Structure 1
Amino acid sequence: MSLAEFFLDPLRYEFMVRALATTVTAAVVCAVLSCWLVLIGWSLMGDAVSHAVLPGVVIAYIVGWPFAVGAVLFGFLAVALIGVVRDTSRVKEDAAIGIVFTTLFAFGLVLVSVTPSQTDLNHIVFGNLLGVSRGEMVQIMILAAIVLAALVLKRRDFTLYAFDATHAHAIGLNPRVLGTALLALLALTSVVALQAVGVVLVVAMLIIPGATAYLLTDRFSRMLLIAPTISVVCAVTGLYVSYHLDTAAGGMVVVAQGVAFTLVYLFAPRHGIIGRRITTARARAATAKAAS
């Protein structure tokens, strides 16, 4: 197979074109938001919200609503419940997150098991990237555009909140409102990604790109460019590999992101394990040569 055939053959099928557009859209919006999640330390919160939306999706299917409506409602419900448990008991936030998201996720699995459906609701859990319809693709793009617009317009406020919430409050910003807004955007982003890779893999798309970019640069503005770039490359790579090897599309996209993180973790010039040693060795060699 020639290189041209490798890239052009999948594009002969409409479902692959839709899958490619959906994957790239989800990859961009998840990667941009992941920069703030990694910076604030909300990785576990991303895991919680992405799993907690499952019962909302199933209930939305039962009553005939769009999946996004149920998912957003339960995303907000999960955040509210975590706050209530944390603020009204001795339970710390990490434990509250674990309690709420596992309970809601398990409730969603129960609903999936007892809900008669002509649609395989397990696709919500594990993803059905190649089965995304035109209507779902449009819905994903609209939600992604809303999230990206909000992140771009309020990026300075969100960044200040992430670095120093106390200073943000001192200059007149409301940290609670900013935190709530980020959680709302997280819920919307989870809806975008779950229709592509499923509930189980959403957290990977929300965390890995930002963590990878964090190892490559110390400037947040560059993170916002590096993370979506890496995420899109991994999304396209994973989708093409899954097509030619006949593997799960969503899973392969996340595997590609994991491979990218591993390479950066090892070889990043300043923060990679091997890369840092190589840089140090070169610096020592240069110093010794200059001294001699």
Structure 2
Amino acid sequence: MSITDFLTDLFNPDLAFLPKALAIAVMSSIVCGVVGCYVVLRGMAFIGDAVAHAVFPGIAVAFVLQGSLVLGGAVAGVATALLIAIFSQNRRVKEDSIIGVFLVGAFALGIVIISQAPGYAGSLQQFLFGSITGIPDRDLYVVGGTGLVILGLVLALHKEFVSLCLDREMSRAMGLPVFWLDIVLYVLVTLAVVISLQTIGNILVLALLITPAAAARLLTDRLGVMMLLAPTIGGTSALVGLYLSWSYDTPVGGTIVLVATAIFLAAWLLAPRHGLLTKRMRRCRGRESADVVRSSSVPDLTRPQDPSASLR
């Protein structure tokens, strides 16, 4: 399918779900890209996976009670994030261990709850693997409003989050409320994950949070530039992924993740300073320059020497 055909489908009234899916995919990718920068800097990618699994029991309860699946997932995710933040304050057990405990515990609870409701597989499939066909209009406002709240909090607490991600103990010594900053950051990660569930799915949502930020980390050493590059990479991945998914009839969530992964691999190889091939090319040039310098400093013994040169 050509880009022109894709644009035509976007404005086709019979395909009203397509522009909604594109809007939600791009918005959620931008939000996840911004929040993901803190996740990558702090080395807490596991929290994204934990939150993605933690929303499952909330979805299960909401399904059994015939309530809002998105709201149920958000409540469960925030509750789990709060528990992780509280238990992580005891430094005797490392943060990744606490996250692992609540990850499997929350997912197991969801399995037990959902097993009591027959016929659930089809209704929950879109939350596991993503869907572009069943997005109601209200979700546009929910994702847009939640995204603005997340970005507003990030803008207001940016310096505190950076300090927390780089050195927790120094932040505590500076008098920053480390515990409450942990909670806010966990909640922001949770909300970013929840608003991405319908497009990318529960299983693949971690990639939307981590991959664009990791690619941006390879491309720049400046945090400000990284926080601009990450949402740009995420939004581009969503746009290109949806186009390829619509063109070749592939799962939208998986296609978006594959595009983001391809961008990460390109950055890994070709980043200006940290790319693997770029470093090798610099080393090769350095060796060639060294060889030239050495060759120019060695006298050519094949040429006749001036006997008087040594007397001058």
With structure 2 as the length reference, what TM-score do the two structures score?
Answer: 0.84
How do 1:194-205 residues align onto structure 2 when only pairs under 5 Å count? Answer: 194-205=197-208
Letter in 2 for 1:212: A
CA displacement at 1:171 relative to structure 2: 3.5
Runs of 5+ unmatched residues, structure 2: 297-312
Q: Residue by residue, what CA displacement relative to the aligned partner does 1:141-191 show, whole Å, maximum 9, x if unpaired?
A: 111111111111211111122122333334332111111110111111111
Name the residue aligned to 1:276.
279
Q: Could you tell me how far apart the structure 2 residues matched to 1:134 and 1:123 are?
A: 16
Task: Give the superposition deviation at 1:73.
Answer: 2.4
Residue 260 (structure 1) shift: 0.9
Q: How far apart, in 1, do the equivalents of 2:291 and 2:62 lie? A: 68
1:233 partner amino acid? T
Change (3 A) 1:67 1:172: same
In structure 2, the CA distance between the partners of 1:67 and 1:94, relative to structure 1 (3 Å rule), is same
Partner of 2:130: 127
1:16 aligns with 2:18: yes
Task: Indicate which of 205, 209, 220 corresponds to 1:206.
Answer: 209
| 1:88-167 matched pairs, under 5 angstroms | 92-116=94-118, 120-167=123-170
Residue 228 in structure 1 maps to residue 231 in structure 2: yes
CA contact (8 A) 2:216 2:229 kept: yes
Identity %: 35
In the alignment, the residues of structure 1 paired with residue 59 and residue 41 of structure 2 have an alpha-carbon distance, to the nearest angstrom, of: 29
Classify the secondary structure of the residue corresponding to 2:220.
Answer: coil
Could you tell me how far 1:283 is from its partner in structure 2?
3.9
The equivalent position to 1:172 in structure 2, one of 152, 161, 175, is 175
Going from structure 1 to structure 2, the CA distance change for 1:2 and 1:240 (only over 3 Å counts) comes to closer
2:52 corresponds in structure 1 to 50
Structure 1 unaligned segments of length 5 or more: list them.
Answer: none
Question: Larger helix proportion, structure 1 or 2?
Answer: 1
**Alpha-carbon distance, 1:94 to partner:** 2.4
Paired residues of 2:85 and 2:183 also in contact (CA < 8 A):
no
Q: Confirm or deny: 8 A CA contact 1:72 1:187 kept in the other structure.
A: yes
Q: Bigger shift: 81-90 or 116-125? A: 81-90
Q: Secondary structure at the match of 1:130?
A: coil
Pick closer, same or farther for the CA change 1:56–1:201 going to 2, 3 Å: same
Residues 61, 145 of structure 1: alpha-carbon distance in 2 compared, 3 angstrom cutoff: farther
**How far apart are residue 90 of structure 1 and its match?**
6.8
Distance 2:175 2:284 in 1: 48
Provide the alpha-carbon RMSD of the alignment. Answer: 2.5
1:139 to partner: Cα distance = 1.1
**Deviation per residue, 1:262-287 (Å, 9 max, x gap):** 11112212212112112332344455
Deviations 1:29-69, CA, capped at 9 Å, x for gaps: 00000000000111001110111111112212333543343
1:67 to 53, 66, 69: 69
Query: Quick check: 76-85 or 201-210, which moved more?
Result: 76-85
One of 236, 246, 268 as aligned partner of 1:243: 246
